[in-house]
Amino acid sequence: MTLALILWQIVLTLLILGVAVMLLALARQIGVLHERMAPIGPQEARPGLDVGQVVPRLVLHTLEDRPVVIGEALQAGHRQMLLFVAPECPVCKRVIPIARDVATARGFELLFVGDGPVPELKDMVASRPEMQGIPLLTGVELGLVLQINRLPALVLLDERGTIRVKDIVNTRRQIEDLLDTVPEAPRPAHVETGVISHAAV
């Protein structure tokens, strides 16, 4: 009887320890989600470079280790739309296909900027068809320069590397409303080829 009671106490103790460990792990995950998701909406404080400022020239790398330059002068009218995402961010997964649709419709170059370990970012891209064919940049330099501290964050750069939009986004309407505040880029003048004009002398 005494042996059975001792065994029962050991089992009960192990169960209590197991539940305590699970509760700690759950609390940590809730904290991570809270950190990533709140606040969803306009940022109250915007440290780092902000709208109207020029991003310094930075060389980042894709998951395939291909260099991509951010902050370099681009073709007239060209715009880069950067979406900052992370594997453990549930809102990011919802926003990614929306951002891709909006960027395609508006003719913007979309680039994902990943926050997290490279193996997890590779798994994220591999498991999400809507991320295929779009570069995902790694490295923390750009996030530090812009002080991106909430995800998903959207940044729009014009052809001079000037920040035109920088904010947290979580719906299509938010993305489109943000982009609608930016005037359309002037289209390059149409140049006819094969026409020679002569001036009378």
**54-113 pLDDT, tens digit each:** 999 999 999 999 999 999 888 998 999 999 999 999 999 999 999 999 999 999 999 999
Alpha helix positions (H), 38-78: none
Same domain for 2 and 71, yes or no, is: no
Give the domain extent around 136. 58-180
Q: How many CB atoms lie within 10 A of CB 159?
A: 15
Same domain for 74 and 104, yes or no, is: yes
**pTM for this predicted structure:** 0.70
Domain count, the chain: 2
Q: Give the confidence band of 53 by pLDDT, cuts at 50, 70, 90.
A: very high
Peptide bond into 188 cis (omega under 30): no
Confirm whether 77 is domain-assigned.
yes
The Cα 50–Cα 120 span in angstroms is 29
Same domain for 98 and 156, yes or no, is: yes
Same domain for 25 and 124, yes or no, is: no
Confirm whether 145 is domain-assigned.
yes
Q: Kindly give, in sequence order, each residue whose CB lies less than 8 Å from that of residue 147, ignoring residues fewer than 6 positions away.
A: 46, 47, 48, 49
Confirm whether 15 is domain-assigned.
yes
The Cα 59–Cα 172 span in angstroms is 30
Paired with 6 in beta bridges are none
**140-175 pLDDT, tens digit each:** 899 999 999 999 999 999 999 999 999 999 999 999
Nearest to residue 180, comparing CAs of 192, 188, 172? 172
Paired with 157 in beta bridges are 80, 163
Same domain for 87 and 133, yes or no, is: yes
Same domain for 18 and 109, yes or no, is: no
Same domain for 99 and 133, yes or no, is: yes
Confirm whether 187 is domain-assigned.
no
Q: Are the beta carbons of 110 and 101 closer than 8 angstroms?
A: no
